[in-house]
Amino acid sequence: MLYGILIFTMQKGKKSSRSASSQYSFKPGEIRQIVLSALGLGILLGGTFLVTPNFPIIYSLFASLIKDISRKDIPKAKIRRALKTLEKKEIIELDQRGGEVFVTLKGMFTPVTLKYSLKPLLELKRKKQKWSGKWFMVFFDIPVKQNNKRNYLRKYLKDIGFYPYQQSVYIYPYECEQEVVLIKKIVESAKYLSYVVAEKIENDKPVKIYFGLS
């Protein structure tokens, strides 16, 4: 099993005044998902992308990832509560040593963790990369008798940011081969995926609109 360790310092001090960030409202479980996304994303971004065991994530990086993912300043108290909830669900481990808290993410290759981590990773590519004009596509041909798995894979690809070009063809405008490799590691039906790079596709207008490329 692969692990990622987040290390940050718990600072004691006076309570700060009510900030503008406290005005944000969050759906039930939303902060936990954001925290989990930041943990997984920090590991994926650390060292050659293909998940380094015990990769340390400094709290400042973790906090910036949370802000980048959520586009909100989440109060530290709410982040700590989310970490405690994830610990109770046995998704992470918390180990306090003196003034430091070690947060260990269990099982990086789980459907929930990987899904929440890949989505912001793909979004970061959209924000920071210039489109080359190429299309990066995944095809799959899952047997009819495995209809539930086919539907699950379709929803999974759409949820993390792919565009449904056809029923069994999904598109992304930026290179994503390593992301597809990770999907194949965790989603059973993804073993049927084939990765293709296309210079041009027909009827690309709605795809460009979807990704904000027009």
Which residue has 């380094």 as its token pair?
52
52-74: pLDDT as tens digits:
445 445 555 566 777 777 777 78
pTM of the complete model: 0.69
* 3-state SS assignment for residue 199: coil
Instruction: Give the strand order in the sheet containing 4-9.
Output: 55-58, 4-9, 100-105, 92-97
Closest CA to 160 of 113, 119, 106, 210: 119
DSSP code string of 130-199: ---S-EEEEEE---GGGHHHHHHHHHHHHHHT-EEEETTEEEESS--HHHHHHHHHH-GGGGGEEEEEES
Cα distances from 55 to residues 3, 13, 52, 165, 209, in angstroms, run 8, 29, 5, 37, 38
2-53: pLDDT as tens digits:
334 444 433 333 444 344 444 567 778 788 888 887 777 776 766 445 444 4
Domains within the chain, CATH numbers bracketed: 4-105 (1.10.10), 129-210 (3.30.70.240)
79-102: pLDDT as tens digits:
878 888 888 887 777 776 666 666
Q: Kindly report the CA angle at 211 between 208 and 214, in degrees rounded to 5?
A: 40
